[in-house]
């Protein structure tokens, strides 16, 4: 009986380590060739590690949340061949899934993963891993509570279904037991289309819980995307002295124009929200104040002002906060901005956004839509120097000099890096955006 060792693969772009965010197997599990064994996350992508051989899991070299160095032993599989141990004759090709959030400081590689190449390290790790490894809170599988209906035959007891992290999260939110879903992909892998087929067949819902006292305490380990978000938010608040400026905007005329443009739009044109108008207003205001569209390199003490306006659109997805980027807004008209916002929103929601689409912003817009509240205090997307926050729109009485009239009002809550943007300049920028939004025809002048 031979033993096959799988090492942490080189995921490219100079990445020296990756965080283990999910185990798909446990010790003693049988595995097939190309079956996904684990998922790891770098600053830019989630990568699935497939099995190059068929056999049985004999050793796992890390726990969820560990940061493992590239080249460190990660998994050992007993195969049917002869000999004590063999290295992979096939190159393990990781399968990337773009990660919605970059940033964060690299962590020290796990000693367990670095030192697990010796037999002395393997023995204690093997005994420790005899208990089933729990799934990651972010990417974990579903435990019961799913539908009794199925689009195919249920899997045998104990066999874990194959699915990407995005599919698992979608199933978890829908209360679907993936063991009841038939996969149409290689080796029975479940895709989004299989979930669609399962949902179209209908499913049962669990009975509502009674009004009994609940004393449960659930511990959720902060790993993967949630940890990247936490690290980046902490970095931004720790290193950037924020100043937040709030201004009230009368968007009555803008809403009338938006409704008229949507009513007369061509079939191939997108339905316009307020974001494309805000993007164009920001682009015009940045043309007059280029220092707002900048990146501050803390370590080098250099401010890099960008000619290209690359606006990040902060968006909430099932996996957490992501910031897809609309590039070169200075060269896009209203309709192009609207189409790009829609495309990026769909890519972020489905988890298909590329690394390039999730990095490289020079200024960010954040909006909570109808839940936006009256005022927010946005956190700057480090290393940028400004972020514009959209609050909810409300009908309010406004005094016009002789009487109160109903007007559609909306607040902008915007934060700036006070190290490089003075309060006066921050206010001047927002006042220019306000003027453009309140007289929306000005947005189109010069386009």
CA distance 386 to 140: 36
Respond yes or no: is residue 310 known to be catalytic: no
Tokens, residue 156: 């045998």
Q: Which residues contact residue 215 at a Cβ distance below 8 angstroms, ignoring those fewer than 6 apart?
A: none
Out of 196, 297, 422, 447, the active site residue is 422
Neighbours of 145 (CB within 10 A): 11
- Beta carbons of 275 and 312 less than 8 angstroms apart: no
User: For this structure, is 422 an active site residue?
Assistant: yes
Candidates 246, 200, 225; CA nearest to 348 is 225
Q: Which residue is it, tokens 């195919």?
A: 152
Q: Give the tokens for residue 160.
A: 């874990």
Main-chain phi, psi angles of 41, to 5 degrees:
-125, 130
Alpha carbon separation from 12 to 242, 335, 384 (Å, rounded): 35, 37, 26
Tell me which residue has tokens 């390199």: 297
Catalytic residue among 10, 250, 418, 425: 418
Supply the residues annotated as catalytic.
Answer: 418, 422
């Amino acid at each position: 009986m031979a033993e096959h060792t799988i090492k942490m693969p080189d995921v490219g772009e100079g990445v020296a380590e990756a965080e283990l965010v999910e185990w798909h197997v446990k010790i003693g599990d049988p595995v097939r060739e190309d079956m996904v064994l684990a998922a790891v996350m770098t600053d830019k992508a989630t990568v699935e590690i497939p099995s190059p051989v068929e056999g049985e899991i004999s050793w796992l070299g890390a726990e969820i949340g560990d940061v493992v160095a590239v080249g460190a032993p990660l998994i050992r599989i007993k195969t049917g061949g002869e000999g004590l141990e063999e290295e992979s004759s096939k190159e393990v090709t990781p399968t990337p899934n773009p990660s919605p959030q970059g940033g964060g400081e690299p962590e020290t590689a796990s000693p367990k993963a670095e030192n697990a190449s010796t037999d002395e390290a393997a023995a204690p790790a093997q005994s420790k891993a005899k208990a089933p490894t729990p799934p990651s809170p972010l990417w974990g599988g579903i435990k019961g509570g799913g539908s009794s209906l199925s689009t195919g035959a249920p899997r045998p007891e104990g066999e874990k279904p194959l699915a990407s992290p995005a599919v698992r999260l979608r199933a978890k939110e829908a209360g679907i037991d993936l063991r009841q879903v038939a996969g149409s992909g290689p080796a029975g892998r479940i895709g989004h289309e299989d979930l669609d087929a399962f949902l179209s067949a209908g499913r049962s819902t669990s009975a509502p819980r009674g009004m009994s006292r609940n004393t449960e305490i659930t511990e959720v380990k902060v790993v993967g995307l949630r940890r990247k978000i936490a690290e980046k938010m902490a970095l931004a608040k720790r290193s950037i002295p924020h100043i937040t400026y709030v201004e009230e905007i009368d968007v009555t005329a803008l809403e009338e124009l938006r409704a008229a443009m949507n009513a007369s739009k061509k079939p191939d044109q997108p339905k316009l929200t307020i974001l494309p108008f805000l993007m164009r207003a920001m682009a015009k205001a940045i043309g007059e104040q280029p220092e707002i569209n900048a990146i501050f390199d803390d370590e080098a003490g250099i401010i890099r002002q960008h000619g290209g306006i690359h606006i990040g659109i902060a968006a909430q997805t099932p996996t957490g906060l992501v910031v897809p980027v609309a590039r070169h807004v200075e060269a896009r008209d209203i309709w192009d901005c609207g189409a790009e916002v829609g495309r990026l929103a769909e890519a972020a929601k489905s988890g298909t956004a590329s690394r390039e689409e999730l990095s490289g912003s020079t200024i960010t817009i954040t909006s909570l839509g109808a839940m936006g509240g009256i005022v927010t205090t946005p956190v700057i997307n480090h290393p940028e120097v400004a972020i514009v926050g959209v609050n909810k729109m409300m009908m309010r009485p406004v005094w016009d000099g002789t009487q109160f009239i109903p007007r559609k009002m909306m607040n902008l809550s915007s934060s700036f890096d006070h190290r490089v943007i003075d309060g006066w300049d921050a206010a001047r920028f927002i006042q220019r955006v306000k003027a453009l939004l309140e007289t929306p025809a000005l947005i189109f002048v010069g386009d």
